């Protein structure tokens, strides 16, 4: 006969066990603490909310509520705590408002998920900010050559930005999602027919590299796109400048064509670097691209004065320095990537290429809708005159610059959500969606508060013209109030890409862009700049509404994420 004490909630159970015949259990509803009693009960450690039950330690199996745990009588006293009787008077009802605040703080705390989001978003924000800073450095050096050269470089940069947004950025976003999908499946060890991932042996170094079909496909498409862009920009620079309103007899024509033709040779490096960046983002690594971009931009800043002034190459020297820095960035990224992944495969996967082209085509239409909307808003603002246009440009530059911060948050949400979604960990996917949306809302609100107080001082950095400053300050309300809406809109973009919802992301943007353009054409001309700012705010608001409707209706890939069956399974796993 042996006795074993069991404790569950407020009930003490004493089991008298005869291993041959007797097995009786007596339940005592309440008990009184006995001073001389030596019975002690162990406090079980709480499991992490981020821990996957399937991978938890087998030494301590996960217990479901209501089950009675057996207390090992041989545990050391130092690991045991004496149990005191619970007092009904100690329980107090929490106030609803306090509970709401506590719940909100719990959602925003920097736990493992929060730290993962920030570890991806912060380096990405710095990398995104590096390109505008480099453009400012180039502008500063070229500006010393004269106003004509400065204007010519501005036109050429606009052409390259147009090409990048239409062709290169879609490839970057698609690569991030597809690589994150394959990487997640490889980590999980799932042998899926649709996503074939494996390890390949490197005969030279003796190490094993991952083979992800999306990486080699993305790099192959990047090389093809880059060569095509080089040919188009080099031989078609004249036609492109005519489209931009730079005629043959313009003093800007020759320097703009020189700069565009030389920079065209850097197109393959640009697209390859973006494909490599997308791969690293899919690995949730945004630090490596940051280091590569910083190194390339530093070299560009060093070479600019050497080629422009000391070598006497002028605007051509600026283009040469930029091309060298672009190839350096591509080399660093591909060199680092080659240490982890097999870059080239002799087998061409037609299905992968078709998948890339289909998704890329959808995002190209999305980018086109955004470009048309933003271009139309700028053209309407330009009709108001040079002073209102200058004020509008200040507001727009601040508005777009701050979007880099929330765009980095969207990137983090995309990479983490793609990983959870690919592993069919829908409970984790819902937590990622909830967390990045809340962080985006808080970030947007914080930016709105800072801008509302300091936009006047910030705008004075761009110009000293009092007329321009007065008009620009009148746009403070637009720039500040729109920040929360901008943040949510960009985060929703990342969530679309994370679950491969490229179709809805494209079609909804085309419809929203069409509606906003109609508003610009029919309503805005009657209200001047205030109408333009209202139209841009409407544009971002409609994007948020479209995202909320998509998540709320739970259609497409969101049906799996928010399925009630998956919710029940997630609760059981907990």
Model pLDDT for residues 277-286, shown as the tens digit of each residue: 999 999 999 9
User: Which of 26-35, 377-386, 428-437 is modeled with the greatest confidence?
Assistant: 428-437
For the chain, how many residues are written? 574
pTM recorded for the entire structure: 0.74
Phi, then psi, of 342 in degrees rounded to 5: -75, 115
Confidence of residue 207 (pLDDT cuts 50, 70, 90): low
Q: Are 366 and 506 in contact (CB under 8 A)?
A: yes
Helix orientation angle between 267-282 and 213-235, rounded to the nearest 10 degrees: 160
Q: Categorize the per-residue pLDDT at 42 as very low, low, confident or very high, splitting at 50, 70 and 90.
A: very low
Q: Is the dihedral of CA 181, 182, 183, 186 positive or negative?
A: positive
Find the mean pLDDT for residues 216-225. Answer: 93
Span 208-230, average pLDDT: 90
- Give the pLDDT score at 433: 94
pLDDT number for residue 79: 43
Sign of the dihedral defined by the CA atoms of residues 107, 111, 117, 119, in that order: positive
Q: What are phi and psi of 573, to 5 degrees?
A: -65, -35
**The predicted structure's pLDDT at residue 189:** 62
pLDDT of 347 above 50: yes
Minimum mean pLDDT range among 359-373, 509-523, 557-571: 557-571
Residue that wins the pLDDT comparison between 514 and 53: 514
CA–CA gap between residue 33 and residue 253 (Å, rounded): 94
Residue 196 has pLDDT above 60, yes or no: no
Average pLDDT over residues 549-563: 90
| pLDDT for residue 428 | 92
pLDDT, residue 348, reads: 67
Weakest-pLDDT range from 106-115, 270-279, 310-319: 106-115
Read off the tokens for 17. 């066990």
* Least confident interval from 257-266, 465-474, 494-503: 465-474
Look at residue 32 and tell me whether its pLDDT is greater than 60: no
Q: Point out which residues pair with 32 in neighbouring strands.
A: none
More confident residue, 104 or 420: 420
Higher pLDDT, 294 or 54: 294
**Spatial distance between the Cα atoms of 336 and 299, rounded to a whole number of angstroms:** 19
The mean pLDDT of 224-228, rounded to a whole number, is: 95
- Asked if 250 and 234 count as a contact pair (C-beta separation under 8 A), the reply is no
pLDDT in tens, 135-151: 777 777 888 888 888 88
Quote the mean pLDDT of the chain.
78
Residue 196: phi and psi, rounded to 5, are -95, 115
- Ranges of beta strands (E only) in 156-281 are 198-201, 208-211
Classify residue 541 as exposed, middle or buried by CB count within 10 Å of its CB (0-12, 13-18, 19+): middle
Average pLDDT over residues 177-190: 81
- Cβ-based burial of 21 (10 A; exposed 0-12, middle 13-18, buried ≥19): exposed
Those residues whose C-beta lies under 8 Å from the C-beta of residue 452, and which sit 6 or more positions away, are 476, 477, 480
Q: What is the pLDDT of residue 184?
A: 85
Across 40-54, 95-109, 446-460, least confident range: 40-54
Looking at the predicted structure, is the pLDDT value of residue 334 above 60? yes
Which pLDDT value is given to residue 203? 42
- Whether pLDDT at 91 is above 60: no
Residue % of the chain over a pLDDT of 70: 73
């Amino acid at each position: 006969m042996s006795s074993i004490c069991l404790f569950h909630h407020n009930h003490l159970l004493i089991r008298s066990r005869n291993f041959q015949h007797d097995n009786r259990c007596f339940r005592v509803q309440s008990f009184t603490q006995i001073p001389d009693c030596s019975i002690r009960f162990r406090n079980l450690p709480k499991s992490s909310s981020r821990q996957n039950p399937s991978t938890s330690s087998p030494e301590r199996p996960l217990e479901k509520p209501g089950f009675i745990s057996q207390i090992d009588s041989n545990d050391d006293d130092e690991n045991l705590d004496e149990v005191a009787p619970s007092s009904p008077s100690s329980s107090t009802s929490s106030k609803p408002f306090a509970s709401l605040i506590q719940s909100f703080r719990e959602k925003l705390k920097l736990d493992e998920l929060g730290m993962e989001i920030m570890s991806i978003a912060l380096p990405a924000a710095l990398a995104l900010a590096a390109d505008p800073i480099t453009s400012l450095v180039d502008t500063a050096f070229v500006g010393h050559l004269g106003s004509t050269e400065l204007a010519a470089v501005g036109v050429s940069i606009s052409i390259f930005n147009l090409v990048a947004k239409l062709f290169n950025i879609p490839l970057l976003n698609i690569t991030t999602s597809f690589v994150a999908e394959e990487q997640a499946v490889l980590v999980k060890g799932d042998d899926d027919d649709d996503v074939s991932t494996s390890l390949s042996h490197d005969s030279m170094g003796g190490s094993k590299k991952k083979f992800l079909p999306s990486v080699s496909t993305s790099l192959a498409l990047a090389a093809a796109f880059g060569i095509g862009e080089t040919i188009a920009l080099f031989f078609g620079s004249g036609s492109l400048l005519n489209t931009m309103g730079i005629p043959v007899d313009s003093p800007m024509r020759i320097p703009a064509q020189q700069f565009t033709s030389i920079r065209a040779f850097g197109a393959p490096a640009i697209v390859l670097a973006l494909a490599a960046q997308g791969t690293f983002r899919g690995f949730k690594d945004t630090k490596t691209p940051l280091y590569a971009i910083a190194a390339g931009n530093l070299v560009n800043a060093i070479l600019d004065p050497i080629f422009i002034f000391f070598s006497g190459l002028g605007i051509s020297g600026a283009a040469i320095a930029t091309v060298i820095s672009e190839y350096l960035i591509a080399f660093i990224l591909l060199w680092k990537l080659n240490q982890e992944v097999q870059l080239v495969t002799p087998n061409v996967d037609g299905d992968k290429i078709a998948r890339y082209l289909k998704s890329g085509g959808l995002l190209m239409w999305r980018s086109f809708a955004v470009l048309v909307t933003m271009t139309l808003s700028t053209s309407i603002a330009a009709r108001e005159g040079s002073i209102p246009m200058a004020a509008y440009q200040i507001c727009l530059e601040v508005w777009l610059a701050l979007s880099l911060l929330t765009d980095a948050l969207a990137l983090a949400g995309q990479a983490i959500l793609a990983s959870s979604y690919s592993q069919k960990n829908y409970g984790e996917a819902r937590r990622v969606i909830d967390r990045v949306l809340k962080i985006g809302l808080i970030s947007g609100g914080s930016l709105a508060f800072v801008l509302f107080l300091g936009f006047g001082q910030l705008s004075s950095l761009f110009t000293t013209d009092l007329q321009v400053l007065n008009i620009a300050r009148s746009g403070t309300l637009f720039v500040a109030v729109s920040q929360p809406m901008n943040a949510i809109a960009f985060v929703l973009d990342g969530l679309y890409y994370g679950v491969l919802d490229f179709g809805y992301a494209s079609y909804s943007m085309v419809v929203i862009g069409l509606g906003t353009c109609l508003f610009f054409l029919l309503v805005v001309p009657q209200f001047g700049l205030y109408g333009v700012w209202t139209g841009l705010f409407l544009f971002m608001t409609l994007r948020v509404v479209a995202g909320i409707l998509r998540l709320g209706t739970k259609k497409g890939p969101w049906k799996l994420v928010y399925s009630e069956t998956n919710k029940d399974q997630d609760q059981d796993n907990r």
